[in-house]
Each structure stands twice: as C-alpha cells, then as structure tokens.
Chains A and B, each alone.
Chain A
Amino acid sequence: MLRLEVVAIPMYLNSKIQLMAGNDKFSEMPALKPLVPFDDSVIRFLDELSGLLIKHPQGRDFPEIITFGFYVRKSSITRLKRSYEDLKSNVGRGVSFHIAPSNVPINFAYSLLVGLLSGNACIVRLSSKELTLTNILCDILSTLLDMPKFSELKEYVSLIKYEQDTEINSFFSSICDLRIIWGGDNTVKELRKSPLPPRSFDITFADRYSFCLIRAAEYLNIKDKRKMAFNFYNDTYLFDQNACTSPRLIFWVGDLENIRKAKEIFWHALHELLIEKKYLVQPMMAVDKYSLSCDVALDYENVALPIAPDNLISRIELESLQSDLPERTCAGGSFFEYSDQVPDKLSNFVSRKFQTLTYIGFKRDELVEYFANLEMVGLDRIVPCGKASEFSLVWDGYDLIRHMSRVVSFE
C-alpha cells in the first residue's frame, strides 16, 4: 500500500548494503503508515523477543543481552508506557534512520527499541565491525521478523551494515523523517555532510562529560563499601570508562579530614574489586593514563598525582576546576579529583558538554532542589552511583518517545 512516490536506491549503492534482519525494501519505507506510540503489535513483538533473550544460552557471556531482554518484557514496557498516557493523539514521525556506535554493541537494540516504541519505521545502520553480540541479536531478530505473525511489523525494521559511505548515508538521510546519531562528535560531523529533508531533524548523541559527586561524611557512614565500589565499577570500568555516562571527575564534598579518610577507603575498595575482576590494563592504556597525568601536572598548577600500587587506577588531584578539564579525558580508569566544603563551584564549571552526574551520600530531593536553582546550561541526568549506564527513555536531555513522535493537535 503505497502512500508516496518511491525514490529507489541506486543499484550500485544497494549492492554495498548487507541486510542483517527485517525489510530490504528501504525505498518503500516512507510509504508505510506510522504506528502509534506503544503500539500493541510492537509490544507483542518485544515480549516474544524478551522470551528468547532472557533464556539465551550465550547470556552468560553477554549479560547485556539478558538486561535488554528484561527491559523489553511486556510488564516492563507497560510500566514505561504509564509515563506516556497523555500521548493520545501522537503518531510516529515516519522513517527513523539510526547510526549505532561501534563500541557498545547492545546500543543499537535500544535505539531500535525507542524507534519502534515511538511509532517509527527503523533503518538501523550497525557498526561494520564484526561483533559477536550484534550477530547474536540480529539472528534472533531476523528469525522473529520472518515469522508470519510478525510479517506486518517486519516492514518497519531494517537492520543493515555497510562500510562507511557518505553516498549511502545521504540516501537514507534523504528518505528519513528522523536521524538518530550515536557515536560522538566525529560521527555527528560525518553524518551532517548528508542533508535531511526540510522537515526532518537529528537527534544527536555527542561527546559528553560526566562526573560523580560524593559527600565524604555520608560515604564514611555507608556500611557496604564493597557494594558501593561495585556500583562505581559498573558506571566506569565496565565500559572502560568510555561511556558518555562514565564519571571522569570525582567532586568530594566535606571537610578535609573526612575527605582524606573517604578517599583512602573508596579507592582501596575499588582497587580490590578491580583485582578480583582481573581488569586488564592494556599497554597503550597504561601509557595513555600516565601521559594524561603528566600532561595535566604540567599544564595546571599544584596538581598532585598520588602514588598507586599499579596502573589500574590513575588519580589526578586538582587544586582548581579549569574550564578545559572536560577536553582532557582518557579511557580505562583515569580520575580527576577535586575537593570542597560545598558543591557550589559546579555552577560555573558545568558546561553544555555535561551529561550525567552520579552521586553518593546525597538524597535525590536535596539534589533536585539544589540543581533546580542553579540554572545550568548542561547536565541532563542526576542518578545514584551505579545507575549511570542504565538506559532510560529520557536520554541526553531528550524525552525520546515524545521527541520521536508527532503531536496532532485538535481544538
């Protein structure tokens, strides 16, 4: 059932595209009717997918498959839907074109998820790297979509791979209503070479900066220090401290003596955990971390580099918060530390680049109140330590479901 004239993809481009799952008639996707947010057919499909993922034999090797499986269960989706009861007259915007990042393989699944939940057809460009996890998920999705009961939904999903190619980017950009770009500043820049139709727009996930706020006195009162170290580990080392949500700066709040004590216990607990997890210090990572430490010690005044037993954790203690600090990042466990009686210095420090603040030793409500009054240009999420990388339908300051659907207004 065609709604629009179809712009066919040139043969020579089509031959460079590898279909991993779903519909291979990309050109016809703009003709599809948009779905409503949380469409029943989508929820049914996700629930069936969930069943296969939760008990997947390779779930042991890839816990993110299980996490995603639970996230898309009917009960979980229904719970998420509750926040969107008011979207009675919304529909999807049409075709969404997703560029998934190469370094977090599971990410494409979440991107697809929000695309479908908001009612859009989804063309998802997967990383051209060979990734086991991507292949596992694609196989499952492909099998499900090929079942007769999902034949209609199949038209809404295209999971594809192609080598970086501006012409192909341009083709998909020209037929999409929405472009979702993951992968940071450079990928955004690359994709912006391809124009969008006048009414279409980008949702971009640029390079971001995240940090952790710890109230030393409260931290010292926490009984289970190991649990807290584990939470911090999940926010950082689990993704080699290279997720946009991974804290790179620890802002310690309190008096000097408490902070001194808290630091000692905090880093010791984390170190023990890293040893236990056998976190691998890759040679270049060790050199990168060491180079950053020296570089910063040289450029800033009165930097301190505490002696460490090994290269697992690299700490850089700062005397002041310089505005170029967010540019100085290094993956694999390199942390800046700054201490003050109160967190007030943050208001001038936080820039547009700031994304997630994780916290230890604060109450949610006091932070809500505190930050509400600061009127900062940055900072999109404030979550307890350990939840930094938990996916949410509100991400990077976008309420994705609302953003990716179209409101039809009636008067």
Chain B
Amino acid sequence: MDDHSFLTKPVFGLDIIAKSALLTDRLKELSVHHYECCVSYKKILKAMDFNIDTVTDYHNIPFLPVRLFKQHELLSIEKDQIIKSMTSSGTTGQQVSKIFLDRTTAKLQTKVLAKIVESYVGKSRLPMIILDSSSVVKDRAMFSARGAGILGFSMFGRDKVYALDENMALDFEALEAFLERHKGKEILLFGFTFMIWQYFYKFLKETDHCIDLSNGILIHGGGWKKLEGQSVSQEKFKEELKNVCGIKKIHDYYGMVEQTGSVFMECEHGYLHSSTFGDVIIRRAFDFSVADFGEEGIIQVLSVIPESYPGHSLLTEDKGVLLGEDSCPCGRKGKFFKVTGRLKNAEIRGCSDTYVPQF
C-alpha cells in the first residue's frame, strides 16, 4: 500500500500493455486494502461472492455505484485520520456525496493532478485568474466540489486573482490591473463551465468591456448539463469565449469529487484523456460488458488514488464513447473519449408516478 513508486511513471507515456499491468497491480492492491479496512466494501464484495485473488485484469474488479457515496459514509480509515472531507456540488434538496481524505490520499491527489496539469500548462507556475468568486473557498471546514476544485487547481498558478466579486459580478478593475502586471506573459485561467458562461462570458458579451486573454490557457470543468439547456455546445463555448476575450487554449476536464486528482483533461484535439493514474471503461447497459470503440455506454471511472475511501472503481451516471487508445494525434498515450451526457431517468410504466409535478 505504501509503495507509491507508480508515481514515477510518465503521466501520458504508458502504452496499453504497461498501463494495464500498472492498473491491475495497483487497483487489485486497493481492492484488497478496502476489503480489509472498509466493512461496507467487504459486505458488498462478499454479497457478490467476489474473490479479489482471482483478478488478473483490472476490468474485472467490481465497481461501486457512485450513488452509494450519497447514501453512505464510506471510509477505509479511522475517523481520527480524516484531515479533510469533501462534498459534491448538488443543488438544494439533492443528496450530496461525502468523501473523506487522510493525509496520504490528499497528497496523492495533489501529486497526480499536478502531473496531469503539467502536461497541458508546463512546469512553471503561471499568473492565474480564477473565474469565480473568492467567497466559494472561504468556508474551509467543509469543501464543496467547487471550492475543492479551485483550491486544487490554484497550486498551478501564482499571483492569483478572483475574477468575480461576492455578487458574482465581474471585478473588471482587478482584472485590468492583473493583466497590466502580466502583459505578454502566459496566463492560467480556471473555472467551472457554467459559471464561466453565465457570469464571465455573458458579462463581456453584454457590455462593451474588452479584455485580452489571447495568452491564456483556460481549464474548466463541472459538466455541461446546465449549459445544454441553453444549447451551448463545447464548440460554441470555445468559439464564443474566443470572440469575447481572444482565448485560444481551452481545456475541459471530466472528473468528480469521488475521484479528485485523477481527472480526464481535454487535449488540443478536443478529446478527454485518461492518464497513467486513472482510466475509463465504457460499459453496456444490458450486461455491463465492455463496449466497443465508438459505442456509447455507461462510464466507469478508475483511479489509483483513493486509499482512505473505497472509490478506486466507480460506476458513474454519465454516458460516454471511447474513441481510441494510445493513438490520439496529440501524442498522449492512454484512452481518449467523449462524455455524451448524463443518463436519462428511466422511462417506466406502472401506476406509481415517478415525477410528481406531472402527475
């Protein structure tokens, strides 16, 4: 468990064979660890009559439904080892996931995230604009996914400035001063897809304010669900942002609070990539078998990170398509894929209405 030498492997440099071996070893090791340390995990594997020793390929390691973290507090550590807990960003009334970190897992998250992000923005720390309000990270007792994301990515920047004030209005003066200070330099920007669109893009679009971010690299995540309602596609998002501030390098990332650190970042060709430290498997709804390239299915995510909670293999409620492995023109090894949306609620017959407002 304490052997983290896998961290020395190149983050996007292992081919399918080397990566498979690494993942099988590490994920098997994590499964055994959680089996021994997390009663809940053990109960589920026992119910499935699953024997971890028989695993020769990480594809066969069971996955937990991500929903389980909303219904239960799943831990593989003693409570006094918790240094941080994080929650997913659910809207009011929704149940949120609760994830508990110890020192080791928190450190692994940071290291893995750093390796992934470096591949996109380089090793040196860039001046950084956070496209959000500083109020999001003020309450440190309980990290929301948004706060955790901001703090996680803040490590890669320096001289940080928050672009939005407490009322989510653009702090134009602060931004202008910042850009003046760093004229001609590369700038890192980070934010959540919806927030960027709603509060940053729309402000620039609707007012005659101009800022030049043609030297910027934007990393954004959090999902497209809210923007789909406004018919904003990935392409439109990029194009419109470029129109209002000249930014050309824009990278979406796919990740979830249950697997903080091992995010999947979008490359220069518009595809999400799995690194050496995580993986996606697209599964068929009919039998959870592994889907072919190009076949849409349910996304399973795997991560070498989680030691403090059994989150190393999760079945999400997102759908996606695997586009290839080791062959992306961007040069990064590993799988590349697209997320095609959230799973729709099942359409069900029967006499108990599933959705009240339409009874």
Contacts and interface: CB of A to CB of B under 8 A. Distances in A.
A309 B287 contact: yes
Contact of A283 (B46, B68, B343, B357): B343
A294 B64 contact: yes
Interface residues of B, number: 39
Contacts of B352: 101, 103, 183-184, 207, 242-244
Contacts of B319: 283
Given A298-B43, A331-B346, A331-B348, A281 B285 contact: yes
Contacts of B351: 101, 103-104, 107, 182-184, 205, 239, 242-244
A284 B317 contact: yes
Nearest to B347: A282
Interface string A122-142: 000001110000000000000
B43 A303 contact: yes
Contact of B358 (A102, A238, A282): A102
Contact of A285 (B49, B68, B346, B357): B346
A241 B350 CA distance: 7
Contacts of B354: 103, 242, 331
B287 A311 contact: yes
Contacts of B46: 297
A382 to B, nearest CB: 19
A239 B286 contact: no
Residue among A182, A240, A244, A282 with the highest chain B CB neighbour number at 10 A = A282
Given A287-B343, A295-B71, A310-B286, A190 B350 contact: no
A311 B286 contact: yes
A263 to B, nearest CB: 15
Given A286-B288, A305-B48, A307-B49, A102 B359 contact: yes
A334 to B, nearest CB: 12
Given A282-B285, A294-B44, A331 B350 contact: yes
Interface of A: 99, 101-104, 107, 127-129, 164, 182-184, 186-187, 190, 205, 207, 238-244, 246, 281-288, 290-291, 293-295, 297-298, 303-305, 307, 309-312, 331-332
Interface of B: 40, 43-44, 46-49, 64-65, 67-68, 71-72, 285-288, 297-298, 315, 317, 319, 343-359
Give the 9 A-B CB pairs with smallest separation, nearest first: A242-B350, A310-B287, A297-B47, A283-B285, A291-B65, A184-B352, A285-B346, A186-B356, A187-B359
Given A285-B348, A295-B72, A297-B44, 12 more contacts: A101-B353, A102-B358, A103-B354, A240-B349, A241-B350, A243-B350, A243-B351, A281-B285, A283-B297, A283-B319, A283-B346, A287-B65
